[in-house]
Amino acid sequence: MFQETPFNELPMETLGTPAVGPMASVRTTEAMAPAGGAPSAVPAISQRDRWFARARAVMPWGVSSNFRYWGEQETKVIARGKGAYVWDVDGKRYIDYRLGFGPVILGHAYDAVNQAVFEAMQDGNVFAMTNVYEVCAAERLCRMTGADKVRFTNSGTESTMHALRIARAYTGRERFIKFEGCYHGGHDHVMWSTPSAPLGALGSRRSPIPVPSSSGIPSALRDKVIPLPFNDFEMLERTVRDHGHEVAAILVEPIMGNMASLMPAKGWLEFIRRLCDEHGIVMIFDEVKTGFRIAPGGAQQFFGVRADLVTYAKAMGNGFPIGAIAGREEVMMTIEPGAVGQGGTYCGNVVSVAACEATLRVLETEPVFEVINQRGMKLMSGFHEILSRYGIPHVITGVPAMFGVILGDADKPTPRDYRSALKYADEELSFRIVRGLHQRGILPDIDYQEPWFLCYALSDADVAETLTAYEEAVREALR
C-alpha cells in the first residue's frame, strides 16, 4: 500500500524550486502551513491540488506524458487501482474506462499477474542474456498470434520504431505510408498527421500534407512519410502505383484506436495486403491497441488478414511495460547482429515477460473476450439508446473491448476517416458529458478520440451504474 512521504519532511532541495504558474502559491501555502492543522485564513485545498502542485513543481506540467495533462483543474492524481476501479488521492472511486490508455485488459493489480511477477522477480530481473521467462512468453505469444518469430521491446513506441527499421532494411527502401489520425508512438519517424493535426493543416485530400505533431521533429523526415486518408481505396491505389517502388512499409492501425475506434471499411485491410504483395511492400499492423484486446490473436485473427510484421504492447502485459515486434520468419530474420539493429537493455526483462506470460495465460484459459464483449455490447447499445432518446446525433464505432462515441452533426457524412470524424464531431457536447461522468465516478478519457476501454474485472453492476450515470450526464449537458 502506498505510504505518503509527509510533505514537510521532503528534502529542502525538493521544496526549493518554485512551482510554475498558479500552483506556485498553493505549494508555498501548504509548505508553510502550521503543524497540527491550526485554523488558517487560507481556504482548504484538496489532496488533488496539493499533490498536483507537488507534481507540477518537479515534472513539466505535472505529468510523465503529455497526454495525461488535462488542464490545471482537470488533471487527475491517482492513488491506486484494483480491478475495474481507480481511486484518486481524495478517495473518490471511479469505474475506469481508460485503463492506462488500454493496457489493463484483466483489471488493475490483477492477482494472477502480480503473483507471477512477484515470484519471478525473486530470480533477478535483468541479465542481458536470454532468460527462461522470455522464452516461455515468446512461445505463448507466437502460438496465440501465429507469428513465426518475436522480439520483445519495452513499449509501443520502440516496437514501431524497430518494425519500421526492419521493413526498411528488408526492402532497401526508405519511405512509408501511414494514415491520417493514426498514432504509432513518440518517435520522430511516425509523429506525422496524428490525431492532434488540425483539419486545416492537412491539405487537399488528393495530395495530403504531412503535418508534424510536435516542434523538434527534423524536417528531413517529412519526405519519408506519405500520409493518406484511412479507408480511401482510390488514393491508396494511386499512391502505391506511383510511388510503390520507394515504399518500404504500409503502417496501419487495423482499427483506428486513436480516432474513436473507427473501423476499416469492408475489404480495406485485404486491399492493403494485396497492394503490399504486388509491390514488395512490408505490411505492418500496429496492434499496440488491438493486440490481445479484441481477440486472442488480435486484429489479424479478428479480420482474417495476416500482416508481415505486427507491433504489440499495452494489453500483452496488463499494464507492465512491455512491447513486441512479431511476424513472418523471412522479414523478422532481417534482424541480424552487426547488420540490422534491434535491442535494448531492458528488452525481455524478467518482470515484464513474466507479466506478459501470466496475462496471456489468463487470456488463453479464461473467457476474457466473451465476458468483455458481452458487457461492452450492453454499454454500446445502452449509450445508443440513451443518445437516440435525447435526440443527439451520434456514431458508436469500434468493438466492445474498445469502442468510440462520436457525438455530432446529423447533416455531416458518417465518419470513416480522420477528416470526416473531425468535421462530424461536436467536441464541446462530448466534453460536457464526460465532465458529468467524471463527477459521477465514471472515467472515460476526456477526449472523444480515445476509445472506451473495458477490462475483464468490469461487472454487470458496473455496467448498470455506468448507464445510469450516462443518462444523467447527458440530461445535465443538454440543460
Ligand X SMILES: Cc1ncc(COP(=O)(O)O)c(C=O)c1O
Q: Which residues of this chain interact with ligand X, rule CB under 6 A?
A: 101, 155-157, 160, 183-186, 253, 257-258, 286, 288-289, 313
| Least Cβ distance, residue 288 to ligand X (angstroms) | 3
Grid coordinates given for 40: 488558517
DSSP of 103-161: T-SS-BT-HHHHHHHHHHHTT-S--SS--HHHHHHHHHHHHHH--SEEEEESSHHHHHH
Q: Which residue has its beta carbon closest to ligand X?
A: 156
| Least Cβ distance, residue 258 to ligand X (angstroms) | 5
Return d(Cα 428, Cα 478) in angstroms, integer: 11
| Least Cβ distance, residue 63 to ligand X (angstroms) | 13
Q: For 324-367, where are the alpha helices, taking DSSP H only?
A: 329-332, 350-365
Number of alpha helices (DSSP H) and beta strands (DSSP E) in the chain: 15, 14
- When the beta carbons of 210 and 436 are compared against ligand X, the nearer one is 210
CA atoms lying within 13 Å on the CB side of residue 207? 1
Residue 476: CB atoms within 10 Å: 15
Return d(Cα 178, Cα 92) in angstroms, integer: 40
Return d(Cα 468, Cα 103) in angstroms, integer: 26
Return d(Cα 382, Cα 275) in angstroms, integer: 39
| Least Cβ distance, residue 152 to ligand X (angstroms) | 13
- When the beta carbons of 133 and 312 are compared against ligand X, the nearer one is 312
Rg for the chain (alpha carbons), in Å?
Answer: 23
Return d(Cα 137, Cα 139) in angstroms, integer: 5
- When the beta carbons of 23 and 256 are compared against ligand X, the nearer one is 256
* CA distances to 104, 306, 326 from 297, in Å: 17, 10, 12
- When the beta carbons of 101 and 302 are compared against ligand X, the nearer one is 101
Return d(Cα 131, Cα 195) in angstroms, integer: 38
| Least Cβ distance, residue 308 to ligand X (angstroms) | 17
DSSP of 373-426: HHHHHHHHHHHHHHHHHTT--EEEEEETTEEEEEEB-TTSPPP-SHHHHHHHB-
- When the beta carbons of 27 and 184 are compared against ligand X, the nearer one is 184
* 453 three-state secondary structure: strand
User: Amino acid identity of 342?
Assistant: Q
Pick from 457, 141, 106: which is nearest to 297 by CA?
A: 141
Annotated active-site residue in 314, 417, 424, 470: 314
Active site residue 314: yes
Q: Chain-centre distance of CA 431, in angstroms?
A: 19
Active site residue 286: yes
- When the beta carbons of 186 and 376 are compared against ligand X, the nearer one is 186
Annotated active-site residue in 286, 308, 417, 462: 286
Return d(Cα 392, Cα 433) in angstroms, integer: 12
Rounded to a whole number of angstroms, the distance between the first and last alpha carbons of the chain is 42
| Least Cβ distance, residue 251 to ligand X (angstroms) | 9
Backbone φ and ψ of 46, nearest 5°: -75, 165
Residues labelled as active-site residues: 183, 286, 314
